[in-house]
A and B are shown apart, each in its own frame.
Chain A
Amino acid sequence: MLTDAVVRTSTGRVVGQRHAHHDFIDKVKGTMLYAADHQPPGMLHGRVIRSTVPSARIVSIDLGAARDLPGVAAILVADDVPHNSLIVRASGGLGELAIEMPILASDRVRYTGEPIALVAAETQQIADHAAELVVITYDELTGVFDPLGAMEAESPLVHDEGNVLVNWHIARGDAQLGFARADVVVEGEYVTQLVEHAYLEPETGVAWIEDDVVTIRASTQVIEHAVEIARILGLPSNKVRVVAAYMGGGFGGKEDMTVEPFLALLAWSTRRPVRMIWDRQESLAASTKRHPMVMRYKTGATSDGRLTAQQVEIIGDAGAYPYLSARIVFAAAVVACGPYQIADVDVRSLAVFTNNVPTSAFRGFGAMQVTFAYESQMDRLAEALHLDPAELRRRNFLSKGDVIPTGETLQTVVAVGETLDRALARLGELPVPSAPHKVVGRGFACNMQPYGRTIWFRDQASAWLTLQADGSLLIRSGVTDLGAGQAASLCQIASEVLGVPLAMVSVYIGDTALTPPAGGTFATRQLYMSGNATLAAATDLRGRLDPVAAQLLGCAATDLDYVDGRVLAIGGGSLGPELGLSLAELVSECARRGVDTSILTVWHADVGTFDPVLGQGDTFPDYTYGTHATDVEVDTDTGEVKVLRYIAVHDVGRAINPMRVEGQIQGGAMQGIGYALTEEIVLDQGVNNSTLFTNYLIPNASDYPDIEAEVVESGEGRGPFGARGIGEPPIGPSAPALANAITNAIGARPTRLPMTPERVLGLIDTTRGKSWNHK
C-alpha cells in the first residue's frame, strides 16, 4: 500500500554526519586553484568583442588598427571558425525549432553582447585596448523586446524560422468540465523578471595545446561540451580535453558553454596558452539569464476547498537564441500546478524569441517562476473560499500514488504536509509592528521541484573506485563541483559502504580524458546520478571483497562490517582475529587471489518517452518538496519590506550531510529572497542597464535575518540511501512566501517581481484609494 507516512532512518557512520568537505582546506587556505588561477608560462590574455546593438546587419568589421597594435597575437572573426554553427535541441527534438547559433556572428547580430570577434594579446590591457580599436559598422534593424509583441503577426522576426521556439501543451482530464464543477474560480496574471546568477567567480578559463590536444581548464558545469568544441574546431573528439576546475559558483549559468569555445579557438590558432576572464560588466551584460515569464492562471475549486481545474498559460522570454529554453519552459509546464492534486488541467508553455540577451538554465529551471504563480493562486483561492490557506493546501496536497498532469504516478512519499506543519509551528506568534506606520504579515509557500534529468534522455553516470594496497580509496568521477559538495558527497557515500576513513578517500573529478563520464552537474542530478553510481560501484566492490573477507574471518558474507579501515565479523568469526582484517590486508589477499579491487560501474536512470501531441508521458524521475514561511514588516510610508523571520523546510529523503543540506537550503532561500525583493536586470530596448553590482542588488549579510533551515528525512527518495536532490528546490518558495506575507500585511497583492519598495508603496496607495503608475 502506498503511504505518505514519514519513515525515520537511522544515522549511518559517515552518511548523515556533518563532515567538512575535503576541498575546504584548500579553499580556506587560498590554495585552491580556480580556473583563472592556473597560469601557464607564455600565457596570452583573451577578450570577446561583442555587439553593441540588439538587432542589426553587420556591414563591415575593420580589424586594421587592432591588428597593428603591438602585443596582439591573434584576432579571429566568423571566417576563422572552422564550423561556425551550433544547434542546440534542448528537448531532444520534441517539437522545438532547430535554430543555428553562430559561435561568432558574421552578418547578423540578434542581441546586445553577441560575440563577433576574439582577440588574444600579451597582456589583458593590450587585449582590451585592441578590442576597443575594432570598428564594426552596423545597419540597424527593428528589434523586438517583448515576447508578447514577438508573437504578433507583424513582429520583426528574430529568426527566419519564426519567433515561437516551442509551444508545449500538457493536458489531463477536461479543464472546462472541471471549471463547471467549481464553486469558485480565481484568475491571476503573474510577471517575473530577468535575473542573473551572479556567481562570485565570473566565467573564466585557460586553454593550452598539449600533445596536439586542445586542453581547456575552465569554470564549467559540463565537461561533456568537449564534443561540441571539437566540432567547432573541426577536430576529432579525441583532440579536445575539458577539465573542470572547482567552480566559484555556477547555479546553472555555467551549464551552457561560456568561455570554452573562444579559448579553444584562440589557443588553437596561436598554439599558446590563453586565459579569458569575463569581467563582471561583461558577465552581467552578456551571460545567459533566468527567463522572465508572464503566467496566466485560472483555478477552480468547490466550496469545501477541493481543487477541480487549473488552466495555465506560460510565456517565457527566450532572448535571441534557444540555449535550453525549450526544456526550461517544459519543466515549468510539468510542475505548473504545484504539489496539488487537480483532475482537470490544461497547461500551455511557450518560449519566444526576442532581441534580448538569451536566457537559459538557472537554479529552479522554470519550476521556480511557476511557484510564484501557483502559490499566489492558492492564497487567493483561500481568501475567496474564506478558508485558512494552510488548510486549503492540506486538502489538496499530492500523495504517493497520485497521478500528476503528465499522467505519471508519483512513486515516492510526498511529505510536503510535514514541511508545512513544521514551518508554521516554528514561526510561533506573529510579532507586533515596531512603529505606527508599519504593518506586519505572514506568508508561506510550498513547492515541488524535479531532481534528475528529463528521463527521455536515457541518463547515466559512472564511477570508478580503486581500493589501493594501503587500504586507501580513489574515486574517479566526471562530476563537476559547483561548491555544493558534489565531490564530497561521493566520498561520504563510498566511505559508508567500504569503511574507508574519509581521510583516506581521494576524489578526482571533471576531466574528459581521465575520469569516467558523469553527465554534467545540473538539474539537481548529481547526488541522484553520480551518488547512485558511486553507491553501485562501492556495492559491486563489496561483492568482490566480501567472499574473500568472509573466508578469512570464517563468517557469512552477510555478517561482515566495514568500519574505520577494517573488516570485522559481526559477533566474531570462527577463524579470523578478534579485530578482523585491515583493508590493506584484505587488498593484499585479493591481489594474491587475482581479485581486482578496482571497479568501474555505470548506473542507468529510468528511461521513458513523452508524447508532445498528447501532452502525456514520462518526464522527471522524482521531485523534492518543501515549504518556506516568513514574517515581514512593511513600512507603509516607504514600501520597504523587512524580513523578520524566515523558515525553510524541505524533505530531502535522507541527508547525506545535514550541514551541507542546511547550507543548500539557506543559500537557495536567500537567492530566492533576492529574486523576490531586489534583483532585476533592467533592459531598455535590449540594452542592459544593470551591469554593476551597484545596481544589480544581490543580498548581503546585513540585508536579511538568519535562514532557519529544517530538514525532513522521509527516508524515501531515489538517490543513494533514499536521498532526494536539494540543489535547486530551496530557491522556489521564497518569492511566493514573501508575496503572500506582503499581501497579508498590506491588503493588496503583488503580482510582479521584484517587489521593490516603489511597487509595494504603489500597492499600499491603491488600498488607500490612490492610484499612480509604479512601473
Chain B
Amino acid sequence: MREINLVINGSDVQATVADRLLLSDFIRDDQRLTGTHVGCEHGYCGSCTVLLDGASVRSCLTLAVQTDGHVIETVESLAVGADLHPIQEAFRSNHGLQCGFCTPGLLMTTLELARENRDCSRDEIRERLAGNLCRCTGYHQIVDAVQAVLRTGLSR
C-alpha cells in the first residue's frame, strides 16, 4: 500500500492504494466516478480514457500510484451543474453517441484535441479518434460532433 496525493477534477485527493491498483479501478470503485468506463482492460478500446496533466491516457493501463503528484481530469469535470460543456453539447445535439458507453473516453480525447485550438479536416479528426472504439455509430456523427466543437471552440 502506498499513499498518493493528486488532483482529480480540481479537488485535492489523498488516498492509500495497493501498488497494483489500476487507475480505472481507483477512479470507478474508490472515487465512485463511474463515468469512466472499462471496455477491454488491455488498452485498446479507449473507453477508459482520462487526461493526466492534460494528456490522454488509458486509465486501465495506468497504475493509481503513477498519478501521485499529478492532475487527473475525467468526464465528470466537464459539465457545471446542468450546463453541459461545449463538447458534451456538440455530441448531444449531433447525435454523436448511441449507447454512450464509449462516449466519456471520446469526450476526453476530444477535449485534448480541442485545447490545441485549431480546425481539423474530417480525416485528421478520424486519425485523432482512432484510439477510441465505438460499435454503435459508425463514427460519422461523432466526427460531425467533433468538427462542430472545433469550429465553435471551447468557450461556454
B78 close to chain A: CB less than 8 A: yes
Contact A199–B101 (Cβ < 8 Å) = yes
A246 close to chain B: CB less than 8 A: yes
The 10 A-B residue pairs with the shortest CB-CB distance, nearest first, are: A30-B35, A483-B99, A248-B101, A27-B100, A670-B138, A30-B75, A666-B138, A37-B34, A693-B44, A28-B88
Contact B126–A693 (Cβ < 8 Å) = no
Select B136's contact among A20, A26, A33, A483, beta carbons within 8 Å.
A483
Of the listed stretches A69-77, A103-111, A461-469, A697-705, chain B binds: A697-705
A-B contact pairs, 18 of them (CB 8 A): A125-B20, A199-B135, A200-B39, A200-B99, A200-B102, A246-B100, A249-B98, A281-B41, A483-B99, A662-B140, A667-B136, A693-B40, A694-B42, A694-B44, A698-B135, A701-B125, A701-B130, A701-B139
Contact B101–A693 (Cβ < 8 Å) = no
Select A30's contact among B74, B127, B134, beta carbons within 8 Å.
B74
Select B44's contact among A29, A671, A692, beta carbons within 8 Å.
A692
Residues of A within 8 A of B101 (CB): 34, 199-201, 248-249, 483
B150 close to chain A: CB less than 8 A: no
Total number of residue pairs linking A and B with CB closer than 8 Å: 184
Contact B126–A28 (Cβ < 8 Å) = no
Contact B99–A280 (Cβ < 8 Å) = no
Residues of B within 8 A of A670 (CB): 137-139
Count of residues in A whose CB is under 8 Å from the partner chain? 60
Q: Assuming A28-B84, A201-B39, A701-B129, is B138 touching A667 (CB within 8 A)?
A: yes
Contact A199–B74 (Cβ < 8 Å) = no
Measured in the bound complex, the distance between the Cα atoms of B36 and A283 in whole Å is 20
Of the listed stretches B51-59, B63-71, B89-97, B111-119, chain A binds: B89-97
Contact A667–B98 (Cβ < 8 Å) = yes
Contact A702–B42 (Cβ < 8 Å) = no
B8 close to chain A: CB less than 8 A: no
Select A669's contact among B76, B92, B138, beta carbons within 8 Å.
B138
Q: B-contacting residues of A (Cβ < 8 Å)?
A: 18, 20, 23-34, 36-37, 39, 125, 197-202, 246-249, 251, 277, 279-281, 482-485, 659-660, 662-663, 666-671, 692-694, 698-704, 706-707, 709
Contact B140–A20 (Cβ < 8 Å) = no
Count of residues in B whose CB is under 8 Å from the partner chain? 58
Residues of B within 8 A of A281 (CB): 41
Q: Assuming A27-B100, A248-B101, is B141 touching A663 (CB within 8 A)?
A: yes
Contact B126–A702 (Cβ < 8 Å) = yes
User: How far, in Å, is A290 (CB) from chain B's closest CB?
Assistant: 14
Residues of B within 8 A of A30 (CB): 33-36, 74-76, 78, 104
User: How far, in Å, is A629 (CB) from chain B's closest CB?
Assistant: 16
Residue in A closest to B102 when the chains form the complex, CB atoms = A200
CB-contacts of B7-22 with A (<8 A): 20
Q: Assuming A34-B101, A200-B135, A485-B98, is B37 touching A248 (CB within 8 A)?
A: yes
Contact A20–B35 (Cβ < 8 Å) = no
Contact A693–B100 (Cβ < 8 Å) = no
Q: Assuming A25-B84, A29-B88, A280-B40, is B100 touching A248 (CB within 8 A)?
A: yes
